[in-house]
Structure 1
Amino acid sequence: MESAARQPPPPSGDDGHEHPEANGSQQQPQLKDEEENVPRTKKPGFLQRFMTKHGISAPILMMMFKGTVPPIVAISMYQSHAVSSYYVTLGYLIPIISVLALPLLPRGKFMINLTLNVLAVCLGAAISMLMLWSGVKARENTTPGVVRPSLTLTGAAYNSSQSAVCAIWLFFNIWAANVVRAKLPAFNMPVIIYSILVNVSATYGPWMTVTKEAELFVRQLLTCMLVALALALGANLLVFPISSRVVVFKEFADAIGLLMKTVQLQKKYLVRLESDDMFAVATRTDTHPGFGKADNHGRLNLTKEEKAAQALKATFDALSELAGKLDADLAFAKRDVAWGKLDAKDLSDMFKHFRDVYVPIMGMTTIVDIFKRVAEHRGWDTDEDDEDIICEKEREKRLWNQVMKQMHEPFEILSEAISQGLEHAGILLELLPRPNVGKKAGSGDTDVEAEADNTKPGDPGFAAVVDDKIQQFNSRKGELLKAWLRERALASQEDETNGIEPKHSDERRERQQNQLHIVLYMESLMCSAGRAVQELITYAESKVADGTMSRKRLIFPSSHRLRKWLYSVLSSEDSSAEQAPDLMESHANIVYFGDGYNKKKDPEHLEPVTAWERFGSRLRSVSNLLGSEESVFGFRVACATMTIGIVAFLENTQHFFMEQRLLWAMIIIAIGMTMTSGQSFFGFLLRVGGTVFGMATSLVIWYIVAEHRAGVIVFLWLFIFVEFYFFLKYFRFIPAVIIVIITQVLIVGYELQVLTLGVDVAERTGQPYYKIYLLAPYRLACVAGGSVVAFFWTIFPKPLTDRTWLRRDLSATLYLMANYFGVINSTLEASVDRTAGDITTPHTPAHQLHKAGRKIFGKVMLLIPSMSQHSEWQKWEPTIGGKFPREAYDDIILRSTRIMRYLTLVSYSLTHPTHDLAAQTPADEKQAPSPDDGSENNDPKRASTNQPEAQVDRDWVKALHTALHALKPTHNAILSTLTLLSNSLLSGQSLPPYVPLPRPYEATRNLRNTRLRKNSPDSAPPSPSSPTDDIIPDRAPVVELVSTNGAKEKKGEEDEDEEYELEDESHEGRRDRLPPSAYIFDSELIEQPGYAEFTVLQVCTTLVCDDLEGLVKTVSGLVGVVDFTIRVGGSGTTLGSAMSRGKGKVE
């Protein structure tokens, strides 16, 4: 129920919080160490401070009022004699169902829920009628003589056959409904309403004597349900109406503000790195989540660097959460019917452009993690006093200080362009309000010329201002490389002065290459962010130019989108990488699809061929459903329901069930039963606590106005109004809030019902009238009893724990990441081989790979919050035996999230290249300029200088192809390791003792040791059939064995020294014999196409490998290692003791 009730923040123009980042670049704070003095403003009043502190704004107040309308209207209209005389004692169901219908949801979500709720109510009424009719027929067939209707509802004689029929119907319906509830999450709330209807019908069924009586009862019950849904519909559409599109537009606006704030905080953090120790900051940031040291009062003393890193991380986490929320809400907004300007395709395009800006900005924030990894790998994260380590660290720190100083001014230009560009696009798309251009007080004489020169975001021609700034940044981006080369030259001079040994010089050269990749990595991401902002502005201006933003129109979802919605509702999302059916709709066999695009194979059955085999497969699916976890959950709910419901079907306890209102306990089971034990125990506490609070407040509501009907309704509204604040602000306590409201409605509503109907009519159902001070404890007892029964059947006979679910989610996440990396690898190969095609053209390999990657990415984004929820719920599970290794699981979640972030960066860099490799095809290169062309290419001098460059371009592309093809074993090792870890977590089987992992920067070594053949200007062009003839690669092994016991397999120091000497002799000697330009790794080739993507690939792959190694160690600590080694001597382990441990598994 919590997932069904979860909704985005109130979508309005004002969410009660200031967002200075969305108010234009003119108001952005300057990066100064001290805040500027500002005039003192009037101190806000107590009410304003209280509302600001607790996040109470106008949209929140409107939503709180909106939620109170349906139940209060239901209770108020029941005070009418015409209404109460029709519904009699079933009227209490109207306010309950109106609350469960969730009228607070945005219109798109609400209409989907309403459709499913109406279907569930109508189906439930039909099944209830069939159940009551069959029960009446059972009574007629087993009772001699003519059956006559009874004067009261519970006045009929007991009939065992009728009771048995109703009990069987009840058990089957509860089982079937909850199977659907567990299988299809969209049916969560409809199944709860359906279960309430069936519970009421089945428990009243044994008292029915004739069919007309059953028809009247079902008609009253159906009318109650439909009236409640109608009240919720009216409140949703008429009381502060809000559409899913407005929610998405508000989230777009907030996302733009957070993007602008992230860029500003990134700039502030980089400024801090111009003079401070970035390695110490990164280490403290990671090892101490709270940052800083606490003083005597427990307060943290944060340095400026720690504050900058903390603010950057917090803002980016909020941005990531909002991006996931926006992705989920976008589907509902595209299905909404609205009177607006932007249609569903426009919303998709907006989200695409937003993601194109979001991903590189996300990549820039990883610089903190990169410095942390450098400090850890080089041993700088400890208080080491070794002089060599200190000198090395100071040298590295000085280099990065200079690089960051050189980056300051270009990033200042870029951050201003990004902020202004985002604001400009937001204003054009009407996501952000236009700046206030009205006259200020006292400014009667305005300088018109100055005002004309000051072009603001949203004004015509402002795109040119942003383009000029981005062009200015692009013209200066080479300064980072120059700064790095200058500092590297200084470091080389120090090496010569200090007499650094050759092997250390080779190691230094590799470190310098890593530094270069980090510099180019940051530069590439900054260029990508600027280009993405330009594309967003171009798109926004195109919407203005084509008239889309000039007028509103009626927008309907297309039939294709409605079919997709129906498919999504009727399908259950699994954790596999199976693709949607539309992936294979193409009839043109232009590309071969691997097994990753097909459904999971059954290792016990081949694909059915004949009609009989296909029928057998469908028959097996039925048995699989009956034995599934969903079916087990449905059986548990049915058993829990019958544990209390059996009292209504036995002769000696039938009257007791009615008198003591045990139906309330059955309704609580229908509402609160969950699949996992941790969530069930947490829900048990919430339900009991909510009922206690609701019971106490009901007494206050009833007696504070001396039982006056109007005063009771007003105070009931006031309490519900306040309770909806917690509904909106604290998602975890939504079940408790709903239970509180239902408890108040039941208790107070029953007392008002008795006042309207009278005691005699109220007791016709067999329920004696109780004063409110007696009714409230009865209600509490019923809820507590139902909650205890629900919790018992959740853990009996064997619980499905949140810890087990968390492990499965982690396994599924790792498996999906392996599939995602497989898609990235295929995209890389297709791009290198120039067979991918246009990503925007349907059915091309690039388009199909992009669709596959987006689908897998969406599944991972759904699993990440699920893992977090189960990680929190498992705290409430009782621990029997050893402690739950939460630290290990949290580490897996953290590393998995980081790996997915890095893979997203790689995928982005491949689909948004800075240069087009396809433009470097031999066919293009052979197209010489026309003699009649008046361009500079006809200049002989120009041609003589361009010819070697063209040769270098050709050689570079071929060399890059070879180097990237050499990466295939490396990427296969990553994919295999992720799959191995996933399967090990899922099955619990031990890991092998050594897991092959790719060596960091192995492609860099291969590329550094790859040289080009020196061609003369008049030599013939190389043959396309042999693209590697001009390339002489020297490759090292691409994988290393990482021990799952925590240590890498390394050679001895002597062998390592010999390897360095051999490498120095083989590679350096040949380098001395060749011209400098013969090696493709020279600095003048950095601008070659594909190099930027290569650096992003290398940096992210190294970070992935580092986290992958940590995952291997963590998972091996959970599942153990296949290890039959026998240690004799110091370990004290004998052969017998080793064998007694069993199966050679080391835990």
Structure 2
Amino acid sequence: MSETTPNAAVTDNGEADKISSSHASVVQPVTPSNPTKVDETASPAMPPTKLPVYKRAWAKLGLSPIVFMIMFKPAVAATIAMAIYQRQEVAANYLNFGYLIIIVSITTVPILPRGKFLLNLFLSLFLTCFAAAMVLLGQYAGIKARQHTTDPSAPVGGYNSSASVVNAIFLMINIFGINVLRAARPAFSIPSIQYTVFVMVGFVYGPQEPTEAASQRFLKEVLYSFLTGQAISAAVCLFVIPVSSRKVFFGETTGFLQTCRGLLKAQLSFVEALKHSRLCKPIIESQQSANNGKDKLELAHKAYTEKFAALKSATMSLLGLGAKLREDVLFAKREIAFGHFRETDIHDLHQILRNIMIPISGLSTIADISERMHLPNSNNVSMPKSVTGVSPQSVLDNEQNEWLELVHTTGIGFETVIQVLDESLEHILILLKLIPDKRNKKAAASNEADIEKGEGPAEVNESYSDTLERKIEDFRKKRSKDLHSWAEERGLDSVFRTTAKHAMRPPVSEQDNTNPATTEREILASKRLHIILYMEYLLYSASRAILAAVRFAELKVEDGTMAKQRFVFPAARTVIKIIKGLIDGSDPTPDILSFDQVDGSGQTIELGDSFNTPKDPEHLPPKNLWQSLGNYLRAVPRFLGSAPVSFGVRVTIAVMCIGIVAYLKNTNAFFIKQRVVWCLVMTSVGMNPTSGSAVWNLFGNLTFTIFGMVGSFINWYIVDQKTAGVIVFFFLFMMFYFYFAARYPRFLTCIVAGALTHVLIIGYQLQVRVIGLQIATATGQPFYPIYELGPYRLLTVGAGVLVGYIWTIFPVPISEASVLRRDLGRSLFLLANYLSSVTATLDQRLAESDEDGENANLLSHHGHKLDKMRNKVLGKQQALINSMRQNLAFLAFEPRLGGDFPKKTYEALIDEAQSVTNYLTIIAYASASFPTANRTSTWLSTFTTSRIQNQSDSHKITSLLALLSASITNAQPLPPYLKAPEGFRLSDEILEAGTGVLDLANVDEPGFRAVAVVEVAQRCVVDSTEKIVRLVRELVGEVDFSYRVVGGSRNEDTESVSGGEV
């Protein structure tokens, strides 16, 4: 089967992989081809057809193919593991540890896509073998300690304190090591569970092993159980409803492109609703409200809000899919497969999808921009009284009609191009074989004609992509002409006069007779034109990105890639990156060179400090070999003071609080009899670095463990304890558990805890039936009937998660609030870095557009490095913002002492940080067109030479964000008199110079719209920074020794100026 033909398990936006991440979400794109959509051509008089009961129940339960797959595969693996153990020939190889086969078959996670599963399986096998070696070494050392401290004439067995101490030390070392690894390398999270179970079982029973032969026999049984469980899980993953990482990637690609179609239509609806925005009626709202127009305004505002909510929802779906694609493309490129696309093809396709996502998702910022532009204090513009209070009704009507006319013509242009883009996206899906081509030849011919009809006939032998490019350029030229005509009719000559400072001024002799309303109307019109240019540029950029996707699809058809399938292997470089990433956790992207760049002509680019190794304020760079060696030695204390080591120490102490019972003479027998080892497992696996998630795990694990115990009772007694019936109902119960895991992935850990409780109870009962009571009790564990074993399991799990919770909040609680504050400080510092890199990128691209020859090549080479560094910072920022949102969700479960947590303030700060990140990304994206624009026109070069490069304002914002980061991280008040600069705009110097470079006559020049987009985004960055300053000041305060006397006999307050100056 071609890996580019998504089956039912992955067409739902690649949800087959959502179980692997706690942040995964189900995305349902809105598409015209959605089969559940009601036929709009049906007669309204006909009542809707009522679905059968079973179909309604199926839809209500959400039993999609992907949900069924997540339910079915773990249940099959667990049932196979349980069923094969019922034969004596099989059970003889595992004896008392046969139940571990079932547990391992589940924890190897057979529902993962093939690429992720094989990586997880490799790590699990490696850690299992390493655990076996450690257990063998520890038990060997314990046996030698027993021999050296026991009289030769004494019995071989029995309790020995020396053997117990040795095994306890080995247990502590291994628990510490695996939890440090789990905290430092997320890829080891799932394999670490199996390692934890192995070493705990091995070292808990280790003190009982009297000889090396007994130890090796014990180790063989445990090791065989683990390897068998992993083999069963591998067979189920690879042969039962197989899902490759490539299928997941292409399924998500299908969902991404379909969601783009829905988002474009939501954008068109929003453009039509702009006539109801506050920017449309900044002057008339208050007057209409006073003239009994309140209901009408509320209805209009409601319609606008609904359209915006739909646009925002579609954008969030697209961004969610983009995040999933970013994660899954790595595994798709690494996978050995038989299909159409090579590794480089997948990489190129992902880059094209990223280029589509930025402008399309940026369209959702229009509502936020219109609200920002409406604010009366925006950019220090205030509406004069003659306009805001007593303007004639004719002026108000004229203001509204102008905006309605502009929105209407924009909507018409958008409707035309969005229809073409919708057809183009469908064309891409068909060419790449992501959806079946259900059109017959006649329909196909009709569709080909659809895109070519309109303004003039198609050229002879013109390809689909050429036709699309012509339509896109026609749209750009027509809109440029329309906007220029609209502005000319109103006497506007520039779109950049959005402040009173840069509004058009009449001659000096006429200034006394100037009406303030004229200036304000110019500013308002410029702001409205800015929004239209912003929308049109992003739509045009999205169109060009979709055109690139069409050309890519056509190229793959022409070069034969889509004609046949072939075996595809990852490149050697990719394999090396995988191994390197597992070892040091480094980013697989190429390293940035840390030295200045010199070309053949001797010209040099001096790189800033951010390109080099971070400086150490306590140490100068090493000057000799001994000092260089000292830097490596200093890594040891730095590692021991790291957060992963701190977490490992907490887990080790928590485990040994209970584990010590297994190594004391008076309590050893009790520990073994009551199976307390599973209490240790739950303590280790259930602990998390923060207390909010610890509370969640505490109640979640207890709740689902109760469900697992009750479910095991029903499973056992409903079939009158018959083995065959128990196994059949065991399969159904496993499907039941994993149904909730598929539908509610947030509860995954807790649900798995409940399922494992069910496995331990039922598995043990059937195991005793197979091997007999004598062998089952040979390890010192008495046999309990199921009605006694169930409560014991519940108590061990409850004690384990309770101890884990105690050691999460004691002695120093690592609360969600403290982690959130720390992460917010890091986010603001990353934001400062991102702003600085975007500013450098903007200047570099403007300089590159103004250079030629060797200088341009040198700047271009530096630009590639700058892009890599900027994208790396952006990836870290997005991951940190997602982490902060997750921590906010867990705050509800965190116990609070003292006052309430300022959750709303933190939410606002995170939202503003996200806004700044989004607008900076748009700036970087818009400026990417500068070098290309300079090759086709001289306008951008003229603009660059007319601009005085003054970065002081942007540098002030970077410094400001760094100060805010330090203040929030260290919980210290802000410096006094701190405020954001009024703005840093590309056009300020040119407007003040009075040149005609920014006149609307140049609106069709390459780069003009991009500059307008950068201006809008810069203004929003400044506005969001002001909000961040205000919010941080609310949290930490400010160094301020001024005072104010309030009340008393005086009618006015008296304020003293702070004594900061003498």
Q: TM-score range by the shorter chain?
A: 0.7 to 0.9
| 1:119 CA displacement | 0.8
Establish whether residue 521 from structure 1 lines up as the match of residue 524 from structure 2: no
In structure 2, give the amino acid aligned to 1:213. A
Which one of the candidate residues 47, 54, 58 is aligned to 1:51? 58
In structure 2, give the amino acid aligned to 1:358. M
In structure 2, give the amino acid aligned to 1:145. P
| 1:482 CA displacement | 3.4
Which one of the candidate residues 931, 944, 951 is aligned to 1:960? 944
Distance 1:788 1:89 in 2: 28
| 1:334 CA displacement | 1.1
Which one of the candidate residues 706, 718, 733 is aligned to 1:692? 706
Assess if the C-alpha contact under 8 Å between 1:148 and 1:210 holds in 2.
no
Q: Quick check: 833-842 or 424-433, which moved more?
A: 833-842
In structure 2, give the amino acid aligned to 1:86. N
**3-state SS of 2:619 partner:** coil
Establish whether residue 1093 from structure 1 lines up as the match of residue 1016 from structure 2: no
Distance 2:43 2:998 in 1: 48
**3-state SS of 1:339 partner:** strand
Deviations 1:565-613 (A, max 9, x none): 2222223479xxx985354599866643321122322211122232211
Q: Quick check: 544-553 or 971-980, which moved more?
A: 971-980
Aligned length: 998
Aligned match of 2:821: 807
Assess if the C-alpha contact under 8 Å between 1:424 and 1:462 holds in 2.
no
Which one of the candidate residues 606, 614, 636 is aligned to 1:622? 636
Distance 2:827 2:1048 in 1: 38
Deviations 1:970-1021 (A, max 9, x none): 2212222222222222222221222342324754443222134xxxxxxxxx
The answer for unaligned runs of 5 or more in structure 1 is 1-7, 150-155, 285-292, 295-299, 439-445, 921-952, 1013-1078
Distance 1:409 1:49 in 2: 40
Deviations 1:804-840 (A, max 9, x none): 2222222222222222222221222122222699999
Distance 1:88 1:390 in 2: 94
| 1:800 CA displacement | 1.0
Aligned match of 1:74: 81
Which one of the candidate residues 139, 145, 167 is aligned to 1:138? 145
**3-state SS of 1:605 partner:** coil
Which one of the candidate residues 918, 929, 934 is aligned to 1:901? 918
Distance 2:45 2:778 in 1: 73
- TM-aligned CA distance change 1:490 to 1:534, over 3 Å: closer
Assess if the C-alpha contact under 8 Å between 1:701 and 1:712 holds in 2.
yes
Aligned match of 2:749: 735
Aligned match of 1:316: 315
Aligned match of 1:62: 69
1:509-548 correspondence runs (5 A): 509-548=522-561
Distance 1:189 1:256 in 2: 32
**3-state SS of 2:666 partner:** coil
In structure 2, give the amino acid aligned to 1:768. P
Establish whether residue 248 from structure 1 lines up as the match of residue 262 from structure 2: no
Q: Quick check: 587-596 or 196-205, which moved more?
A: 587-596
Aligned match of 1:598: 612
Aligned match of 1:975: 958
Distance 1:245 1:282 in 2: 55
**3-state SS of 1:857 partner:** helix
- TM-aligned CA distance change 1:583 to 1:557, over 3 Å: farther
Assess if the C-alpha contact under 8 Å between 2:12 and 2:252 holds in 1.
no
Assess if the C-alpha contact under 8 Å between 1:838 and 1:847 holds in 2.
no
- TM-aligned CA distance change 1:490 to 1:184, over 3 Å: closer
In structure 2, give the amino acid aligned to 1:48. K
Establish whether residue 866 from structure 1 lines up as the match of residue 867 from structure 2: no
Distance 2:338 2:330 in 1: 18
Aligned match of 1:5: none
**3-state SS of 1:363 partner:** helix
**3-state SS of 1:1127 partner:** strand
In structure 2, give the amino acid aligned to 1:125. A
- TM-aligned CA distance change 1:179 to 1:29, over 3 Å: same
In structure 1, give the amino acid aligned to 2:742. L
Deviations 1:491-528 (A, max 9, x none): 999x9999984555445444443333333222222221
Aligned match of 1:182: 183
Distance 1:1131 1:415 in 2: 67
**3-state SS of 2:51 partner:** coil
Superposed CA RMSD in Å reads 3.9
- TM-aligned CA distance change 1:180 to 1:974, over 3 Å: same
Assess if the C-alpha contact under 8 Å between 1:97 and 1:228 holds in 2.
yes
Establish whether residue 427 from structure 1 lines up as the match of residue 411 from structure 2: no
| 1:282 CA displacement | 15
Deviations 1:525-554 (A, max 9, x none): 222122222111111111111111111111
Distance 1:681 1:508 in 2: 57
**3-state SS of 2:567 partner:** strand
1:314-713 correspondence runs (5 A): 314-377=313-376, 387-388=389-390, 396-437=399-440, 461-482=463-484, 484-485=486-487, 488-489=490-491, 501=514, 505-572=518-585, 581=591, 583=593, 591-713=605-727
Deviations 1:34-67 (A, max 9, x none): 9984965532112212222332112321332112
Aligned match of 1:931: none
| 1:390 CA displacement | 9.5
Aligned match of 2:862: 845
In structure 2, give the amino acid aligned to 1:96. I
Establish whether residue 794 from structure 1 lines up as the match of residue 808 from structure 2: yes
| 1:715 CA displacement | 0.5
Aligned match of 2:1039: 1122
In structure 2, give the amino acid aligned to 1:1117. E
Q: Quick check: 855-864 or 549-558, which moved more?
A: 855-864
The answer for unaligned runs of 5 or more in structure 2 is 1-6, 16-25, 286-293, 454-460, 494-502
- TM-aligned CA distance change 1:573 to 1:731, over 3 Å: farther
Establish whether residue 988 from structure 1 lines up as the match of residue 971 from structure 2: yes
Deviations 1:365-410 (A, max 9, x none): 221111211222369999x996348978765543321111111221
In structure 2, give the amino acid aligned to 1:387. G
In structure 1, give the amino acid aligned to 2:993. T
- TM-aligned CA distance change 1:235 to 1:662, over 3 Å: same
Assess if the C-alpha contact under 8 Å between 1:22 and 1:423 holds in 2.
no
Distance 1:487 1:375 in 2: 24
| 1:430 CA displacement | 1.7
Distance 1:114 1:842 in 2: 46
Deviations 1:780-799 (A, max 9, x none): 00000011111011111001
Aligned match of 1:1072: none
**3-state SS of 1:551 partner:** coil
Assess if the C-alpha contact under 8 Å between 1:274 and 1:402 holds in 2.
no
In structure 2, give the amino acid aligned to 1:581. D
Distance 2:246 2:857 in 1: 26
Which one of the candidate residues 111, 115, 123 is aligned to 1:108? 115
Distance 2:165 2:414 in 1: 77
Aligned match of 2:1025: 1108
Which structure carries more relative contact order (alpha carbon 8 Å, separation 6+)? 2
Aligned match of 2:906: 889
- TM-aligned CA distance change 1:606 to 1:809, over 3 Å: same
Q: Quick check: 756-765 or 394-403, which moved more?
A: 394-403
Distance 1:56 1:1132 in 2: 73
Assess if the C-alpha contact under 8 Å between 1:282 and 1:368 holds in 2.
no
| 1:274 CA displacement | 4.3
Assess if the C-alpha contact under 8 Å between 1:839 and 1:846 holds in 2.
no
Instruction: Give TM-score, length-normalised by structure 2.
Output: 0.87
Deviations 1:405-428 (A, max 9, x none): 111221111101211111111211
Establish whether residue 1006 from structure 1 lines up as the match of residue 989 from structure 2: yes
Aligned match of 2:22: none
Q: Percent identity?
A: 32
1:760-771 correspondence runs (5 A): 760-771=774-785
Assess if the C-alpha contact under 8 Å between 1:831 and 1:917 holds in 2.
no
Distance 1:655 1:1102 in 2: 72
Assess if the C-alpha contact under 8 Å between 2:13 and 2:254 holds in 1.
no
In structure 2, give the amino acid aligned to 1:520. L
- TM-aligned CA distance change 1:842 to 1:779, over 3 Å: farther
Distance 1:18 1:804 in 2: 32
